[in-house]
Each structure stands twice: as structure tokens, then as C-alpha cells.
């Protein structure tokens, strides 16, 4: 992989430790990763430790299933902002989506977006593309693209399917140009990561980002 600046290093396991997130930052500094993503519990600590303004700090909201109440997501968002996060990766309510309740999804977005924008933070929406139909993916592109979110993120990594070239290509063809794609979900191979970037992803998220770079540097 030619550019580490397109990699987001993440550690979102339920058994994540302080040592794990500190290693994320060390790896980000060493390899020039664009962002790191940590569980909400560690945002405050990492905000204190991150001295490099070129590295953005992200966390997840409503993770990993997205079906928590809007009020709960708002509470998570407010706390993460107070703790010093730069970007919020919010899991869409996939249960609502699968029940064709697009009004609920629009209301959810209308509740969280103004709060995030008022603090000049970035918003990424995780849509879990691997378990959606093409029609559902396109409707997500319409809803979130028109609203002007910063990123569409393909997967939490917890669904049965993660990122794919096909889904990234489909999203890019139907998503507003100003909205970036973050390919996520089992992106642990440099060739696969490069393929996703070629299909139109701006970033890839990996929990093995350091390994990804080392593999790519092998002769």
C-alpha cells in the first residue's frame, strides 16, 4: 500500500486495553496514519496523549449494532465531544433500515447532525453494507449524501460480511462527491486495501494497520 495517510488504525474489541490504544497512537506516529479510532472509554485519555495535529481521533457511537435509542446515541455523542473527539462514527439503526423505516433514520440523523456540526466535528455513518441489498445501500447514499455527512463507512466489522470492492464501487457511484467513503470490515491485506481505495474509498479502517503496512513493505 503506497500511502499510509489513507489508513485509519482502530482497536474496537470489547477487551481493548489502555496498552492497545497507546500502541495505536505509536503506530500512527510511526507510519503516518490519518486517524485512529478507539472505544469511547479511551477518548479522554487519548486526547491528552495525541500531540500531533495531523492525527485525528475518532470514536464509535451506537456500536456495534446501531439499534440504541436516538437519545442514547446523543448522550454518547455529547460525552465524546466533551472528551475531545474529532470525528464520530455513528452506527445507523440497521433494524429500522431493515424494517423500511426511513422516516426513523431521517429523524435520527436530524437529531444528531446539528449537535455534531455545532461543535465543528465530523460525522461518519456506518451502514453495514455487507448485509444490505443494493437498493438499501443506494437509499442510504441518498439519505446521508443529501444531508452532507462527512463519511459513509461500510461496516462495523461485526456483521457476517465486511467491506467489498463491489459495495465500495456501488456507494461511490451513488454517493455525493463531497462525501468520502471509509472501507471497513476485515481489511487486513494490503492488496485488498489498495483495491478498495481504487474503487473509490478515501480511507480504510483496519485493526491490523501496522501489520498491513509491514506486509506491503515486504519485497
CATH number at residue 68: 3.20.20.70
CB 109 within 8 A of CB 150: no
Domain count, the chain: 1
Residue 23, pLDDT > 90, answer: yes
> Which residues face 8 on adjacent strands?
35, 205
Give Cβ neighbours of residue 55 (< 8 Å, ≥ 6 apart).
Answer: 25, 28, 29, 33, 34, 35, 36
pLDDT tens digits along 32-75: 998 999 999 999 999 999 988 889 999 999 999 999 999 999 99
pLDDT tens digits along 81-103: 999 999 999 999 999 999 999 99
Residue 11, pLDDT > 60, answer: yes
Residue 191, pLDDT > 70, answer: yes
Q: Which domain holds residue 148?
A: 4-217
pTM assigned to the model: 0.95
If pLDDT is split at 50, 70 and 90, which confidence band does 185 have? very high
Distance (Å, rounded) from C-alpha 72 to C-alpha 49?
27
Amino acid at each position: 500500500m503506497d500511502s499510509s495517510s489513507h489508513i485509519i488504525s482502530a482497536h474496537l474489541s470489547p477487551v481493548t486495553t489502555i496498552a492497545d490504544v497507546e500502541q495505536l497512537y505509536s503506530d500512527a506516529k510511526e507510519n503516518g496514519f490519518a486517524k485512529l479510532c478507539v472505544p469511547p472509554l479511551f477518548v479522554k485519555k487519548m486526547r491528552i496523549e495525541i500531540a500531533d495535529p495531523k492525527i485525528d481521533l475518532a470514536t464509535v457511537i451506537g456500536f456495534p449494532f446501531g439499534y440504541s435509542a436516538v437519545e442514547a446515541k446523543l448522550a454518547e455523542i455529547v460525552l465524546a465531544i466533551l472528551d475531545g473527539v474529532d470525528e464520530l462514527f455513528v452506527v445507523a439503526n440497521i433494524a429500522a433500515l431493515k424494517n423500511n423505516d426511513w422516516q426513523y433514520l431521517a429523524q435520527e440523523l436530524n437529531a444528531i447532525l446539528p449537535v455534531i456540526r455545532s461543535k465543528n466535528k465530523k460525522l461518519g455513518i456506518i451502514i453495514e453494507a455487507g448485509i444490505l441489498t443494493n437498493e438499501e445501500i443506494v437509499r442510504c447514499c441518498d439519505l446521508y449524501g443529501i444531508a452532507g455527512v462527512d463519511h459513509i463507512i461500510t461496516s462495523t466489522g461485526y456483521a457476517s460480511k465486511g467491506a467489498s470492492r463491489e459495495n465500495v464501487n456501488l456507494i461511490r457511484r451513488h454517493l455525493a462527491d463531497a462525501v468520502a467513503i471509509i472501507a471497513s470490515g476485515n481489511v487486513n491485506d494490503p492488496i485488498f486495501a489498495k483495491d478498495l481505495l481504487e474503487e473509490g474509498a478515501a480511507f480504510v479502517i483496519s485493526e491490523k494497520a501496522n501489520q498491513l503496512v509491514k506486509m506491503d513493505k515486504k519485497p
